[in-house]
Structure 1
Amino acid sequence: MFSSKEKAAIGQVMCFLREWDQGNKAVRARMLSDFLTKNTGKTFHELELEFAQVASLFLARLTAWMRLTYMFGTCLNLQLRALGVFLSASSTHHYLMEFLGMGGVLTLLETLGQENLKDEDKTEALRLLQIIADAGPKYKELICESYGVKAIAECLAKSQAEGTQETAATLLESLAHGNSKYQNQVYKGLIALMTCTSPRAQKLVLQTLRIVQPILKTALHNIVDPLLCLLRSLHLEVQYEATELIKELMRYEVKSTLLRGLVALLKPSQEGLSKHKIQEDPGMEKMLHPVFLQQAAAARTIRILTQSSEEISKDLLSLGVIHHLMYAMGNQEHPDAQRQASLALEHFVRMYPVVEERVRRAMGTTLFQSFMNNAECLHLNMDEIQAYVLLSNNTSVTYVLEEQYSDP
Structure 2
Amino acid sequence: MSSIREQEAISRLMTFFKEWDNGNKVTRSRILNNFVTYNQRKTAPELEQEFSQGGSLFLARLTTWLRLTYMFGTYLKEILQSISIFLAAANSGRYKVEFVEVGGILTLLEILGLKQLNEEHKMEALRILQILARAGRKYKELICESYGVRAVAECLANAKMEDTQEQAQILLELLAHGNPKYQTQVYKGVIALLPCASPKAQHLSLQTLRIVQDIVQEPHPAIVDPLLGVLQSMHMEVQYEALQLIKDLMRTEVRADLLQGLVKLLRPSRKDGGRAKPQILEDPSVPVLSEPLPVFIQQAACARAIGMLARESSELCDQMIRLRVIHHLLYVMGNMDHTESQRQASLAVQYFASVSPVVEEQVRLAIGEKLFQMLMENADMLYMKLDPIQVDVLVSNQVNIPGVKDVIE
Report what 1:253 is aligned to: 253
1:236-278 deviation per Cα after TM superposition (whole angstroms, max 9, x unaligned):
1111111111111111111100000101111112122235878
Aligned residue type for 2:43: T
1:94-149 deviation per Cα after TM superposition (whole angstroms, max 9, x unaligned):
10011001110000000001101110110010000000000001110000000000
Instruction: Return the alpha-carbon distance in structure 2 between the equivalents of residues 315 and 10 of structure 1.
Output: 77
Aligned residue type for 2:100: L
Instruction: Return the alpha-carbon distance in structure 2 between the equivalents of residues 293 and 276 of structure 1.
Output: 17
1:150-202 deviation per Cα after TM superposition (whole angstroms, max 9, x unaligned):
10011001000000000001101110111010001001101111111000000
Which of 375, 390, 396 is residue 386 of structure 1 equivalent to? 390
Report what 1:372 is aligned to: 376
Instruction: Return the alpha-carbon distance in structure 1 between the equivalents of residues 105 and 67 of structure 2.
Output: 11
Q: Structure 1 residues 276 and 245 mapped into 2: Cα distance closer, same or farther (>3 Å)? A: farther
Aligned residue type for 2:195: T
In the TM superposition, what is the alpha-carbon distance from 1:234 to its structure 2 partner?
1.2
Aligned residue type for 2:270: Q
Aligned residue type for 1:379: Y
Alignment of 1:32-43 (within 5 A): 32-43=32-43
Q: Structure 1 residues 275 and 222 mapped into 2: Cα distance closer, same or farther (>3 Å)? A: farther
Report what 2:305 is aligned to: 301
In the TM superposition, what is the alpha-carbon distance from 1:286 to its structure 2 partner?
4.6
Report what 2:72 is aligned to: 72
Report what 1:54 is aligned to: 54
Report what 2:407 is aligned to: none
Alignment of 1:38-187 (within 5 A): 38-187=38-187
Q: Secondary structure at the match of 1:193?
A: coil
Report what 2:209 is aligned to: 209
Q: Secondary structure at the match of 2:200?
A: helix
Q: TM-score, normalised by structure 2?
A: 0.95
Asked whether the equivalents of residues 317 and 398 of structure 1 are also in contact (C-alpha less than 8 Å), the reply is: no
Report what 2:343 is aligned to: 339
1:355-376 deviation per Cα after TM superposition (whole angstroms, max 9, x unaligned):
1000000010111111111111
Q: Structure 1 residues 277 and 114 mapped into 2: Cα distance closer, same or farther (>3 Å)? A: farther
Q: Structure 1 residues 306 and 316 mapped into 2: Cα distance closer, same or farther (>3 Å)? A: same
Report what 1:219 is aligned to: 219
Instruction: Return the alpha-carbon distance in structure 1 between the equivalents of residues 287 and 90 of structure 2.
Output: 55
Q: Secondary structure at the match of 1:94?
A: helix
Asked whether the equivalents of residues 277 and 289 of structure 1 are also in contact (C-alpha less than 8 Å), the reply is: no
Alignment of 1:257-276 (within 5 A): 257-274=257-274
Q: Structure 1 residues 276 and 92 mapped into 2: Cα distance closer, same or farther (>3 Å)? A: farther
Q: Secondary structure at the match of 2:267?
A: coil
Q: Structure 1 residues 276 and 57 mapped into 2: Cα distance closer, same or farther (>3 Å)? A: farther
Asked whether the equivalents of residues 219 and 253 of structure 1 are also in contact (C-alpha less than 8 Å), the reply is: yes
Asked whether the equivalents of residues 276 and 291 of structure 1 are also in contact (C-alpha less than 8 Å), the reply is: no
Q: Structure 1 residues 32 and 284 mapped into 2: Cα distance closer, same or farther (>3 Å)? A: farther
Instruction: Return the alpha-carbon distance in structure 2 between the equivalents of residues 197 and 243 of structure 1.
Output: 19
Report what 2:328 is aligned to: 324
- 5+ residue gaps, structure 1, are 401-408
Which of 290, 296, 305 is residue 294 of structure 2 equivalent to? 290
In the TM superposition, what is the alpha-carbon distance from 1:285 to its structure 2 partner?
3.2
Instruction: Return the alpha-carbon distance in structure 1 between the equivalents of residues 277 and 256 of structure 2.
Output: 29
Report what 1:19 is aligned to: 19
In the TM superposition, what is the alpha-carbon distance from 1:396 to its structure 2 partner?
2.5
Q: Give aligned-pair identity as a percent.
A: 55
Instruction: Return the alpha-carbon distance in structure 2 between the equivalents of residues 167 and 217 of structure 1.
Output: 25
1:54-95 deviation per Cα after TM superposition (whole angstroms, max 9, x unaligned):
110000000000000000000000000000100001024010
Instruction: Return the alpha-carbon distance in structure 2 between the equivalents of residues 53 and 345 of structure 1.
Output: 74
Which of 302, 308, 311 is residue 315 of structure 2 equivalent to? 311
Aligned residue type for 1:257: D
- 5+ residue gaps, structure 2, are 405-409
Q: Secondary structure at the match of 2:231?
A: helix
Q: Secondary structure at the match of 1:117?
A: coil
User: Considering only aligned residues, what root-mean-square deviation do their CA atoms show, in Å?
Assistant: 1.8
Report what 1:403 is aligned to: none
Number of residue equivalences: 399
1:303-357 deviation per Cα after TM superposition (whole angstroms, max 9, x unaligned):
1111111111011011110001101101011111100000011111000111100
Instruction: Return the alpha-carbon distance in structure 1 between the equivalents of residues 343 and 293 of structure 2.
Output: 17
Aligned residue type for 1:384: P
Asked whether the equivalents of residues 119 and 161 of structure 1 are also in contact (C-alpha less than 8 Å), the reply is: yes
Report what 2:365 is aligned to: 361
Instruction: Return the alpha-carbon distance in structure 1 between the equivalents of residues 226 and 19 of structure 2.
Output: 55
Instruction: Return the alpha-carbon distance in structure 1 between the equivalents of residues 276 and 175 of structure 2.
Output: 35
In the TM superposition, what is the alpha-carbon distance from 1:283 to its structure 2 partner?
11
